[in-house]
Structure 1
Amino acid sequence: MPISLFNLRGLRDAAADLMLGSSCPGCHAPGWGLCEACRELLPSKPHRLVRPGWQPASQRPDQVSMPPAIATGWYREPLSSIIIAHKDDGAWQLAHQLGGLLALSIAGLVPQDRTGLKEQRARSPGVVLVPVPSDQVAVRRRGYDHSRALASAAGRRLGLSVVPLLIRSRTAHDQVGRGRDARLASQSGTMQALNASSRPVIVTDDLVTTGATIVEAVRALRAAGCQVQGIAVIGDTPKRATGGLRSADHPDE
């Protein structure tokens, strides 16, 4: 009886589990890389990202004027485990899949014609991608800047340039147990733009919880004279889940 492709994959995954202890970063089933079941569960329909107090062109002092924001999907399984594996567990190869998800959100913020976004940008470069800066202590510990890697992977898919304009000028205080206003206040002034871009920018990140970090990124870019066209992230965290995030980079969110 001929060996089917399905059987070959089963043998491969069994060997991976036996010899290397390899498993899917989404569901932890034995095998190399993302399993087919987790791939099928990845988000594919981006939605508008909103947070309390975010208003376009707001004139109220208790609200923050924010550009359009889009998330690829909700921060839940298997996406949440995949993001954590990429950021905290050394699964750097996931930047390709996650970059593709980020590209879906970015594409929703950039006008396109019939030729497609990549071809259009190649003819007439428009926006640039600006990743939210990772905490440098975490970057040194990992030897890897996950935020820039995701922006770069998305940029390659769409033909857009990545310009790391933002740096962290100081560290925010521990945000555990703090409300939105306290987190916003603690984040204020923690980022600085190295210079201004002559082209519109889109801020990118892997996920958003309260949004305090994103608000600070937008503030710093605007203070340098940048036109922030939008915000694109992969995961949008439901309010009930924000207390249990495992993230070394954005504890303030």
Structure 2
Amino acid sequence: MWAGAPYADEVRAVLLAHKERGALRLAGPLGAVLCGAVRGLRAGGGPLLLVPVPSARRSVAGRGQDPVRRIALAAAGELRRTGTGTGARVLAVLRQRRAVADQAGLSARQRLANVTGALEVRAGAGRLLTGRAAVLVDDLVTTGATLAEAARAVTAAGGRVAGAAVVAAPSSAFGSDGARIEALPRGK
């Protein structure tokens, strides 16, 4: 998993403005940061399939948009423009199959329990993933529980997860070689 930036003051402010205050023009700069994280993965050859982690239906309805999908679309465009991801495209195939609690304030164990079994690939969309490598994308990672659940859902539908890329991660996740974070957590 790769992150494009540490989740610190400026990045936090931009993510929140985009996500909670509808500053849609910020999708471009956030997409460029996500593009850098996707490049860090060095995911194998072939077209890059970016699979965004979906927002809750209620959140999308309230915001009028899905911020992670919008950022993923900007990242795919940047990958194509720079020649890094010829054929990069977004496959918004994941959906929440049940409601989950807001993750803020939950421990790592509580977050994992909260999201386990919560995602699935939309009916009929599994064929788009079968035998293809997908890069899971999200705006922020804290414990990795949501990305682990997304990986489970994509794998269950026949897809192969090449890795995950996020706009931001806690500052403690950043080493001297950038924002490489250990593998997606396993287990229930």
Coarse TM-score class (shorter-chain normalised) = 0.7 to 0.9
Distance 1:92 1:176, change over 3 A: closer
1:88 aligns with 2:16: no
Of residues 140, 160, 170, the one that matches 1:207 is 140
Q: Measure, in 1, the Cα distance between the counterparts of 2:25 and 2:78.
A: 16
1:137 aligned to 44, 50, 58, which one? 58
**Where does structure 1 lack aligned partners over 5 or more consecutive residues?**
1-68, 113-123, 240-253
1:236 alignment partner in structure 2: 169
CA distance in 2, matches of 1:207, 1:71: 8
Given candidates 90, 96, 108, the residue that maps to 1:180 is 108
Inter-partner Cα distance in structure 1 for 2:114 and 2:17: 28
Q: In the alignment, what sits opposite 2:68?
A: 147
Query: 1:138 Cα shift?
Result: 1.0
SS at match of 2:138: strand
Aligned-partner residue type, residue 105 of structure 1: A
Cα distance in 2 for residues equivalent to 1:93 and 1:176 = 25
Higher gyration radius (CA): 1
Q: Which amino acid aligns with 1:104?
A: G
- Give the share of equivalent positions with the same residue, in percent: 38
Q: Secondary structure at the match of 1:108?
A: helix
Amino acid at match of 1:166: L
Aligned residues, how many?
Answer: 160
Map Cα deviations across residues 187-223 of structure 1 (whole Å, 9 max, x no partner): 1110001233142000001111122111111111111
Task: Spell out the pairing of 1:1-253 with structure 2 (5 A cutoff).
Answer: 69-110=1-42, 125-159=46-80, 160-175=88-103, 177-194=105-122, 195-196=125-126, 197=129, 198-238=131-171
The normalised TM-score by structure 1 is 0.59
TM-score of the two chains, using structure 2 as the length reference: 0.79
Larger RCO (CA under 8 A, 6+ residues apart): 2
Runs of 4 or more above 2 Å deviation? 124-127, 173-179
Q: Does structure 1 retain, via aligned residues, the 8 Å contact 2:17–2:23?
A: yes
Is this contact kept in 2: 1:207–1:235, CA < 8 A?
yes
Other-structure match for 1:18: none
Q: Deviation digits for residues 159-183 of structure 1, max 9, x if unmatched? A: 2111111000011235455432232
RMSD of aligned C-alpha atoms?
1.8
Gaps of 5+ in 2: 81-87, 173-188
Separation (CA, whole Å) in 2 of partners of 1:72 and 1:81: 15
SS at match of 1:154: helix
Partners of 1:85 and 1:135 lie apart in 2 by: 18
1:203 match: secondary structure: strand
Closer, same or farther: CA 162–177 of 1 in aligned 2, 3 Å? closer
Q: Is the 8 A contact 2:43 2:163 kept in 1?
A: no
Distance 2:135 2:50 in 1: 5
